[in-house]
Amino acid sequence: MNRERALRTLGLEKGAQPADINRAYRELIRHAHPDVGGTTAVAARITEAYHWLRRAGNKPPEPSKSSPQKSAMPAKSKTDDSLVLHLPAGDVFARLVDAGHELGEVSYIDPTTGIVQVTFTADNGVVCQLAATVQANPVSGTRQRETQVEFTLDPLASGQAPPIGQVVAQLVRLINSRSI
């Protein structure tokens, strides 16, 4: 997510102040929360935008502390159900959430535990849920860190989920299309 998208999600203009952000979030979540008849996906998107703007403060986002070569490095599949990026875990998490919005509906976000869940309809018409867990790991012998993402895929309706490798590959393409 970026500032422009977060502001648009909350229905705000570029010059929005913290009080405007709080007010917009409270108003929107009152109607979108699942406890009052809204959907989890919409509430998650509103909450994600709110938290992104609160973390970013009132200044434009700063570039990542990693070197430019590393931040542009594409995601690489490690196995069918995991991938590795040489980026800080927070950057990977943000890119994963953005790619998840393109794949389907982000239905759960927990930055503290590094979990993102995306609900989407596969090409065969089966509604599925892809869960991703982001974990930062030090690269042995260096001060460098790599971030690993582990995936699980489950059908939410009768039918068979597509091969997890196919879904992860699609997600990698989405992440890579945003990282250049």
pLDDT (tens digit, 0 to 9) for every residue of the chain, 180 residues total? 788 888 888 888 888 888 888 888 888 888 887 778 877 778 888 888 888 887 776 444 444 444 333 334 446 656 778 888 877 777 888 888 888 888 888 888 887 788 899 999 988 888 999 999 988 776 556 555 678 889 999 998 888 999 998 998 888 888 877 654
Sign of CA dihedral 93, 5, 101, 85: negative
CATH hierarchy code of domain 68-178: 3.30.310.80
Give the span between the Cα atoms of 164 and 32, in whole angstroms: 31
Location of each CATH 3.30.310.80 domain in the chain: 68-178
pTM exceeding the 0.85 threshold for the entire prediction = no
Cα–Cα distance, 33 to 39 (Å, whole number): 6
Give the three-class secondary structure for 50. Answer: helix
- Sign of the alpha-carbon torsion through 45, 48, 54, 58: negative
- For 3-56, give the CATH class: mainly alpha
Query: Tokens representing 42?
Result: 């919409």
Check if the beta carbon of residue 86 is closer than 8 Å to that of residue 71: no
Give CATH 1.10.287.110 domain extents, the chain: 3-56
